[in-house]
């Protein structure tokens, strides 16, 4: 027990130090952590670390998915819903088919069912890796939105394919019609379970006397309960967490107060940083364990098979994204689409951003050691090795070259977005007008008699920060201070209502709305905890 605790602490310290070094070297964090873990694993005397797949699925996956769903723009997700669904489901199934037929044709003794199993394992890209790499380069908001939306859903699709293929291998039978119906049922019921649990948490937040600490704790518990509830009913836990997270995120302005949002953001940023860091360094540390289990194959054979499957995965994604662009241009003649002519630049970037990660590793490790009759699971070690090589090559090779691909294609945002600074100015003007109108209509007398209220109105009208005068007025009269705080709280609430209305307007990005909401949270925090 003590050794396990010391190992966890050592890994966390290593992750923290490596992240700092990676940032100094300007290498994307996931890539640097995987390479570092790989290098550390080759040092003589380093203890071998075997990752329990249940640990990743149950401990790591729910909060990582929930955090991604929480900060995903529902507006952008809905806007690009067709391409997201096509990539998340269509591309996963297309990749599984390609991997299944190539692997069964090339590798001796590899059946079609095993091929689908392998395809389900390595089909979903890892969004954390892609977005970490994309932070280092300038890229369109549209590409980021599509990649983030795809990553929320494709894990569910790949895990469903994986489970059906695993059942086919274990039972020796596979019925396409039954599998298709079950696929849709598992996905849909996962969404239902997630939304049901989310509604329960919404009711707790909304109508029970929660404090800031309790609210933050509830947001941390929610993804685990959603995931476990879905798995208990044998439906998609991933879809449950994603759907529940999107719903609660969209209602965060109702269920959370300003303190909960401020402190919760910091908490989640730390938790996700730690979990992502541990996952990527564990991927690198797993290599010796996987190689030692590679019995029955020479290393040369295994490497050639793995590189071939990696090439299939990369080419399949590139072909699919480019084909989707032409299909969108064709179907756009008959139905309304978000973008009539996607061109080739966007699909090239989306195709090359297909880096694999934690879900693929966890799926591969969860393949059982033996069949139901007690015999060893066929080609299990080879499946593990191929998965690791696919993760390593796509993460490191594609991750390091992605910035160059983006610069080469010179990708621009296909939509006519208003610059963020212009959006911020427009929102602030609208909020200022609403607040001034409310102040004039309801507190005209107080604005003439209370120096603090008069100062507030003056600052809003002139948009000039008079911090020193405000602090001097605060210290002058406690009665005026109480009245000022009450009026200020009402004005902030009016601005919040207007900001919520602006969420539904396509002109303003959710990120800009969140910035303004965070600014109001800080203003309200000052009222609750004034500086003396």
Q: CB-side exposure of 257: number of CA atoms within 13 Å?
A: 13
Query: Residue 314 pLDDT more than 90?
Result: yes
Q: What is the pLDDT of residue 213?
A: 87
User: Cα–Cα–Cα angle for 76, 78, 80, nearest 5°?
Assistant: 70
d(CA 107, CA 119): 14
**Percent over 70 (pLDDT), the chain:** 80
CB atoms within 10 A of CB 82: 16
Let me know whether 132 and 80 are in one domain: yes
Residue 369 lies in a domain: yes
CB atoms within 10 A of CB 425: 12
Q: What is the pLDDT of residue 51?
A: 66
Let me know whether 398 and 444 are in one domain: no
Cβ-based burial of 426 (10 A; exposed 0-12, middle 13-18, buried ≥19): middle
Residue-wise pLDDT tens digits, 169-214: 877 666 666 667 777 888 889 999 999 999 999 999 888 888 888 8
d(CA 237, CA 322): 31
In Å, the largest CA–CA distance within the chain is 89
Q: What is the dihedral of CA 266, 272, 275, 280, to 10 degrees?
A: -130
Q: Mark which of 409, 442, 463 sits at the end of a domain.
A: 409
Residue 415 lies in a domain: no
Let me know whether 405 and 428 are in one domain: no
Q: What is the pLDDT of residue 218?
A: 92
d(CA 199, CA 504): 21
Query: Residue 337 pLDDT more than 60?
Result: no
Residue 414 lies in a domain: no
Q: Assign 51 to helix, strand or coil.
A: coil
For residue 377, give the nearest of 387, 367, 365 by alpha carbon: 367
Let me know whether 83 and 28 are in one domain: yes
Q: Mark which of 354, 378, 409 sits at the end of a domain.
A: 409
CATH code for the domain in which residue 317 is found = 1.20.1530.20
Let me know whether 462 and 371 are in one domain: no
Q: What is the pLDDT of residue 513?
A: 80
For residue 318, give the nearest of 291, 344, 285, 351 by alpha carbon: 351
DSSP for 370-387?
B-TTSPBPTTHHHHHHHH
User: Cα–Cα–Cα angle for 510, 514, 515, nearest 5°?
Assistant: 120
Q: What is the pLDDT of residue 456?
A: 77
Q: Tell me the mean pLDDT in the region 303-315.
A: 92
Q: At what angle do helices 420-442 and 478-503 cross, to 10 degrees?
A: 130
Let me know whether 322 and 391 are in one domain: yes
Q: What is the pLDDT of residue 470?
A: 44
d(CA 159, CA 241): 14
Residue 381 lies in a domain: yes
Query: Residue 464 pLDDT more than 50?
Result: no
Let me know whether 188 and 122 are in one domain: yes
Residue range(s) defining the domain that contains residue 375: 2-409
Let me know whether 448 and 396 are in one domain: no
Let me know whether 122 and 198 are in one domain: yes
The tokens describing 382, both together, are: 């080879």
Q: Tell me the mean pLDDT in the region 62-90.
A: 82
Cβ atoms 268, 245 nearer than 8 A: no
| Confidence category of residue 228, pLDDT binned at 50, 70, 90 | very high
Q: Which residue has the tokens 């209220």?
A: 453
Residue-wise pLDDT tens digits, 96-132: 889 999 998 898 888 888 888 898 888 888 766 666 6
Cβ atoms 215, 256 nearer than 8 A: yes
Let me know whether 398 and 426 are in one domain: no
For residue 127, give the nearest of 8, 276, 341, 236 by alpha carbon: 276
| Confidence category of residue 414, pLDDT binned at 50, 70, 90 | low
Q: Assign 236 to helix, strand or coil.
A: coil
For residue 102, give the nearest of 87, 88, 122, 116 by alpha carbon: 116
Q: What is the pLDDT of residue 460?
A: 76
Query: Residue 335 pLDDT more than 70?
Result: no
| DSSP secondary structure letter of residue 5 | H
d(CA 173, CA 165): 10
Residue 321 lies in a domain: yes
Let me know whether 466 and 328 are in one domain: no
Q: Assign 408 to helix, strand or coil.
A: helix
Residue 113 lies in a domain: yes
Strands (DSSP E) contained in 173-321 are none
Q: CB under 8 Å, gap of 24 or more: what pairs does 495-499 form?
A: 495/431, 495/434, 495/435, 495/520, 496/253, 496/520, 498/430, 498/431, 498/434, 499/253, 499/427, 499/431
Cβ-based burial of 403 (10 A; exposed 0-12, middle 13-18, buried ≥19): middle
CA 146 → CA 121, 210, 229, 336, distances in Å?
Answer: 22, 35, 28, 18
**Percent over 90 (pLDDT), the chain:** 10
Per-residue b or e along 159-175, where b marks 16 or more CB atoms closer than 10 Å to that residue's CB:
bbbbbbbbbbbeeeeee
| pLDDT, mean over the chain | 78
CB atoms within 10 A of CB 58: 16
Contacts of residue 528, defined as CB under 8 A and 6 or more positions apart, other chains included, come to 259
d(CA 157, CA 297): 31
| Confidence category of residue 309, pLDDT binned at 50, 70, 90 | very high
Please tell me the total count of domains within the chain.
2
Contacts of residue 335, defined as CB under 8 A and 6 or more positions apart, other chains included, come to none
Please tell me which residue, 485 or 272, carries the higher pLDDT value: 272
| Confidence category of residue 276, pLDDT binned at 50, 70, 90 | confident
Q: Assign 339 to helix, strand or coil.
A: coil
Q: Mark which of 370, 386, 409 sits at the end of a domain.
A: 409
Q: What is the pLDDT of residue 419?
A: 57
Let me know whether 322 and 176 are in one domain: yes
Residue 324 lies in a domain: yes
Residue 182 lies in a domain: yes
């Amino acid at each position: 027990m003590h050794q396990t605790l010391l190992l966890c602490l050592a890994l966390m310290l290593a992750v923290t130090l490596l992240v700092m070094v990676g940032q100094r070297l300007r290498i994307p964090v996931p890539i640097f952590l995987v390479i570092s873990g790989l290098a550390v694993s080759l040092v003589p005397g380093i203890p071998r670390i075997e990752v329990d797949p249940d640990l990743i699925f149950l401990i790591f996956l729910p909060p990582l998915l929930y955090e991604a769903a929480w900060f995903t723009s529902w507006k952008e997700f809905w806007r690009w819903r067709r391409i997201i669904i096509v990539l998340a489901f269509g591309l996963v199934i297309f990749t599984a088919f390609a991997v299944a037929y190539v692997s069964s044709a090339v590798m001796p003794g590899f059946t079609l069912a095993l091929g689908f199993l392998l395809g389900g394992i390595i089909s979903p890209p890892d969004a954390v890796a892609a977005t970490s790499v994309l932070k280092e380069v300038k890229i369109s908001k549209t590409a980021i939105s599509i990649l983030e939306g795809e990553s929320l859903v494709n894990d569910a699709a790949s895990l469903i394919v994986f489970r059906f293929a695993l059942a086919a291998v274990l039972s020796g039978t596979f019925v396409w019609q039954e599998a298709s119906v079950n696929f849709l049922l598992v996905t849909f019921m996962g969404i239902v379970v997630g939304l049901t649990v989310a509604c329960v948490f919404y009711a707790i937040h909304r109508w029970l006397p929660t404090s800031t600490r309790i609210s933050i704790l509830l947001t941390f518990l929610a993804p685990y309960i959603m995931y476990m509830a879905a798995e208990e009913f044998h439906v998609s836990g991933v879809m449950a967490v994603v759907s529940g997270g999107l719903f609660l995120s969209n209602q965060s302005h109702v269920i959370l107060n300003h303190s909960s949002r401020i402190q919760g953001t910091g908490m989640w940023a730390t938790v996700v940083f730690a979990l992502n860091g541990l996952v990527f360094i564990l991927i690198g540390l797993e290599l010796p364990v996987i190689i030692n289990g590679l019995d029955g194959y020479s290393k040369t054979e295994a490497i050639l098979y793995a590189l071939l499957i990696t090439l299939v995965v990369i080419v399949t994604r590139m072909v699919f994204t480019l084909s989707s662009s032409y299909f969108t241009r064709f179907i756009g003649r008959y139905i309304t689409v978000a973008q009539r002519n996607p061109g080739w630049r966007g699909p090239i970037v989306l195709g090359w951003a297909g880096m694999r990660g934690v879900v693929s590793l966890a799926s591969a490790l969860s393949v059982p050691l033996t069949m139901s009759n007690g015999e060893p699971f066929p080609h299990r070690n080879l499946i593990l090795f191929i998965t690791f090589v696919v993760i390593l090559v796509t993460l490191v090779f594609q991750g390091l070259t992605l910035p160059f691909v983006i610069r080469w294609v010179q990708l621009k945002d296909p939509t006519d977005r208003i610059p963020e600074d212009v959006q911020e100015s427009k929102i602030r003007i609208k909020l200022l007008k609403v607040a001034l109108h409310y102040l004039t209509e309801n507190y005209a007398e107080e604005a003439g008699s209370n120096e603090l209220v008069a100062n507030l109105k003056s600052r809003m009208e002139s948009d000039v920060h008079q911090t020193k005068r405000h602090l001097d007025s605060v210290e002058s009269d406690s009665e005026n201070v109480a009245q000022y705080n009450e009026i200020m709280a009402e004005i902030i609430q009016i601005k919040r209502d207007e900001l919520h209305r602006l969420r539904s307007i396509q002109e303003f990005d959710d990120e800009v709305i969140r910035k303004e909401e965070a600014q109001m949270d800080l203003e309200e925090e000052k009222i609750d905890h004034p500086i003396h």
